[in-house]
Structure 1
């Protein structure tokens, strides 16, 4: 794997942070590449060097976090529900600015929520086969959709409410509920 220049990583992070801050201040439609470059303290051409436009930047940010969550899943999902959810809740807490911005933005929320729900649904399909007949007679599709939407909905509310309870608490309560479903 080729080594990534730290200056490139630092520049991309500055662009992403500037974009998130701007999304918290103004409507997505009113954010320009010039706004992003000014806030990140880089030239407009530097932004275009890394991203096609603000939509590409948004898509890449969402994709990056979903990919990080997938990597986290590989080892977190070997844990019991409560421990696995705590790992994810701590990830959301660490990246609160991103997740709260994605859920507060009218423009970003549908795309982010759709990709996040798709990721969770796929993971729950695998979990469903470990239920030991708990949900015999019920449609697998219905169980997975119910569990995934409940999980995403609770996490979404927790983030939108400013994470009023610590990750450990939300993990315990949500973990107990997920054990009952799956």
Structure 2
């Protein structure tokens, strides 16, 4: 595995941070590569060295967060609902500007869909339609219901400036998810 130069990572981080900050200030369509390079304090050519355009930058930014959430879920899946959910809510809190921007931005409508698809994949192992109580239910409907409820809770929490600490939200959402799985 090749090691990536720290300077490259630092530059990419500066560009990504600039993009998030700009998206929190103005609509995505109004952001230019020059805006991004000015905010990141890099040359326009440097932005193009790492990304094809602002759409590629946004896509890679979203993918990086989805990947990090997948990595969290890989080791957190052994925990109970509330504990695993707390780890994710702490991640959302650490990355508040990203999630606030993506969930509030009209320029990133695909984020919510990708977030929900990520959640559906993570919930697949938790839903068992072979049980008698679930026999009349469609697995896809159950998964979409859980993912939509979870994403909606995160969106509400973020857009309301995190009115509860991550552990409180995780506890409440974890209990609700557990009830859904046990009830269905």
Aligned to 1:59: 59
Q: Is the 8 A contact 2:15 2:36 kept in 1?
A: yes
Aligned to 1:148: 147
Deviation at 1:130, TM superposition (A): 9.0
In the alignment, structure 1 segments of 5+ residues that lack a partner are none
Rounded to whole Å, the distance in 2 between the matches of 1:133 and 1:127 is 15
Deviates more, 1:74-83 or 1:128-137: 128-137
Deviation at 1:134, TM superposition (A): 4.5
TM (normalized to structure 1)? 0.95
Q: Is 1:91 paired with 2:63?
A: no
Cα deviation, 1:11-55, whole Å, max 9, x if unaligned, reads 111111111111111111111101110111100000000000000
Rounded to whole Å, the distance in 1 between the matches of 2:130 and 2:168 is 24
Deviation at 1:133, TM superposition (A): 4.8
Aligned to 2:128: 129
Q: Is the 8 A contact 2:14 2:40 kept in 1?
A: yes
Deviation at 1:117, TM superposition (A): 0.4
Aligned to 2:3: 3
Deviation at 1:137, TM superposition (A): 2.6
| CA shift in 2, pair 1:115/1:151, >3 Å | same
Deviation at 1:135, TM superposition (A): 3.0
Rounded to whole Å, the distance in 2 between the matches of 1:3 and 1:142 is 43
Rounded to whole Å, the distance in 1 between the matches of 2:130 and 2:123 is 11
In the alignment, structure 2 segments of 5+ residues that lack a partner are none
RMSD: 1.4
Deviation at 1:56, TM superposition (A): 0.4
Aligned to 2:164, what secondary structure does the other structure show?
coil
Deviates more, 1:10-19 or 1:138-147: 138-147
Q: Is 1:73 paired with 2:73?
A: yes
Output aligned runs, 1:10-21, within 5 Å: 10-21=10-21
TM (normalized to structure 2)? 0.94
- How many residues get paired? 181
Deviates more, 1:50-59 or 1:21-30: 21-30
Deviation at 1:129, TM superposition (A): 2.7
Rounded to whole Å, the distance in 2 between the matches of 1:133 and 1:82 is 25
